[in-house]
């Protein structure tokens, strides 16, 4: 029996797979991001539907599934660029320096857009309960919790850390961002099987037919805003994570101040605030979103966006 061919076959198959992934980095990344997150999320969905016990233990799967894009990005960067690419990724995660105006927009402007989208809806302003000292103390604490475990850290290393720098040169800043926004929203589809997104037992197709279209508009508009911020802050992943947290944190802290606000009103508010802002950014930048072909977004020598043969 010839054992040498048998022992080398797995190695050869692994190299062939890695070679294919290098040639199709975007497809490979999105496939893994979806697969990792959706598989990990299954126990949480089953608990929501009463197939598994509905207790807090399964909430850990809700947190863990958000790290699918990050895991996919790390795998792809390791295959494409090796240890040097991982080091560059780590540097971009630590890259916190940016002009103060961008932090002002992220920390105050983004929540203000959401709040504006809420108060222009009929009856919302009348239900406002007022600010309290507890809110002022709890807001930064909740922000830190959301930053690390609410989705931003787990998602942004993939969306803005890996995918966007490859999609902008290939598809252009606007269409590359729109495509990323569509894929980003699609990645959230599983969330609409849960009560937190308007789904769950007894909801039927309401979450998918009525809430998800608004959510899709919100996410695509937000993707345009985040690309604009990303391009003006040197491709900083830290800034992208912080901006994402600034979107998610008002859902936890500010929205309960309005008694009339439910999840549908919140999604509509974000879609309005982000949609108008994204439209203005597109007009003012003529669709460039602050992108310049020679800007420094380190991809590594083997990570050329042109290596993706199939769009």
Cα separation values, 311 from 21, 187, 220, 223, Å: 14, 18, 19, 19
Give yes or no for a contact between 124 and 265, defined as CB atoms under 8 angstroms apart. Answer: yes
> In sequence order, what DSSP letters do the residues of 100-138 get, joined into one string?
HHHHHIIIIIHHHHHHHHHHTSTTTGGGB----HHHHHH
Element (H, E) at 19: helix 3-23
Give yes or no for a contact between 123 and 274, defined as CB atoms under 8 angstroms apart. Answer: no
Per-residue pLDDT reduced to its tens digit, 163-201: 999 999 999 999 999 999 999 999 999 999 998 888 888
Angle, helices 263-285/110-119, rounded to nearest 10 degrees:
120
The C-alpha atoms of residue 153 and residue 100 are separated, in whole angstroms, by 22
The C-alpha atoms of residue 222 and residue 159 are separated, in whole angstroms, by 12
Cα separation values, 218 from 73, 74, 85, 275, Å: 24, 27, 32, 7
- Please give the chain's pLDDT, 311 residues, in tens: 455 455 566 677 778 889 999 999 999 999 999 999 999 999 999 999 989 988 888 889 999 999 999 999 999 999 999 999 999 999 999 999 999 999 999 999 999 999 999 999 998 888 888 777 777 788 888 899 999 988 999 999 999 999 999 999 999 999 999 999 999 999 999 999 998 888 888 777 888 888 999 999 999 999 999 999 999 999 999 999 999 999 998 777 777 788 888 888 889 999 999 999 999 999 999 999 999 887 654 444 444 444 554 33
Cβ neighbours, 10 Å, residue 283: 9
Give yes or no for a contact between 249 and 142, defined as CB atoms under 8 angstroms apart. Answer: yes
The C-alpha atoms of residue 220 and residue 210 are separated, in whole angstroms, by 17
Cβ neighbours, 10 Å, residue 262: 11
The C-alpha atoms of residue 119 and residue 62 are separated, in whole angstroms, by 30
Per-residue pLDDT reduced to its tens digit, 259-301: 888 888 889 999 999 999 999 999 999 999 999 887 654 444 4
What is the structure's pLDDT at 308?
55
Burial 84-100 (b: 16+ CB within 10 A, else e): ebeebbeebbeeeebee
The C-alpha atoms of residue 202 and residue 10 are separated, in whole angstroms, by 48
What is the structure's pLDDT at 240?
97
Burial 52-74 (b: 16+ CB within 10 A, else e): beeeeebeebbebbbbbbbbbbb
């Amino acid at each position: 029996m010839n054992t040498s061919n048998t022992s080398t076959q797995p190695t050869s198959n692994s190299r062939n797979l890695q070679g294919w992934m290098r040639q199709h980095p975007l497809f490979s990344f999105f496939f893994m991001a979806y697969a990792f997150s959706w598989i990990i999320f299954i126990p949480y969905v089953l608990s929501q539907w009463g197939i598994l016990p509905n207790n807090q233990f399964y909430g850990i799967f809700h947190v863990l599934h958000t790290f699918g894009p990050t895991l996919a990005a790390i795998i792809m960067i390791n295959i494409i660029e090796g240890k040097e690419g991982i080091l560059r990724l780590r540097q971009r995660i630590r890259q916190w320096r940016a002009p103060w105006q961008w932090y002002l927009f992220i920390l105050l402007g983004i929540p203000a857009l959401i709040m504006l989208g809420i108060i222009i809806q009929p009856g919302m302003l009348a239900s406002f309960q007022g600010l309290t000292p507890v809110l002022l103390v709890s807001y930064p604490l909740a922000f830190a919790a959301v930053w690390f475990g609410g989705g931003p850290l787990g998602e942004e290393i993939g969306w803005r850390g890996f995918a966007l720098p490859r999609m902008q040169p290939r598809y252009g800043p606007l269409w590359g961002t729109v495509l990323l926004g569509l894929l980003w929203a699609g990645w959230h589809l599983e969330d609409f099987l849960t009560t937190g997104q308007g789904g769950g037992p007894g909801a039927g197709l309401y979450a998918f037919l009525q809430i998800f279209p608004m959510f899709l508009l919100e996410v695509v508009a937000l993707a345009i805003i985040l690309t604009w911020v990303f391009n003006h802050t040197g491709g900083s992943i830290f800034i992208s994570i912080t901006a994402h947290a600034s979107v998610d944190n008002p859902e936890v802290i500010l929205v309960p101040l309005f008694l009339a606000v439910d999840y549908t009103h919140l999604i509509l508010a974000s879609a309005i605030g982000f949609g108008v802002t994204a439209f203005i950014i597109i007009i003012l930048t003529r669709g460039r979103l602050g992108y310049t072909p020679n800007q420094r977004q380190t991809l590594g020598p083997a990570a050329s966006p042109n290596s993706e043969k199939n769009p």
